[in-house]
Amino acid sequence: MHPPALPSTQDPSLALSGRWGQVCQLLAANSNQAMHTRDIARHLGLPTSGRPLSSLTAQLCYWARNGRLIRTAPNTYKITLPDALTPPLGS
């Protein structure tokens, strides 16, 4: 099973303006570290408490359950980068 590609690598015509696209860009730019939900919310300009944070938490959890993200700890996520960005073994 291969991890999903970033939206722009699947179809260049897809805009990255939706929440998934924004989260993708943010996590890909910080792919060397996992990010907490509050940090993701802060970068997206969302409130870091209350209903908006709960909504983002639920969405991140859903994406992690569906293999789009990796949950590294409670409320902490990393992006699953496409294989194309990973050098082949033995090269």
Judge whether residue 49 has pLDDT over 70. Answer: yes
| Percent residues over pLDDT 70 in the chain | 70
Distances (CA, A) of 66 to 62, 70, 80, 88, 89: 6, 10, 11, 25, 26
pLDDT of 62? 96
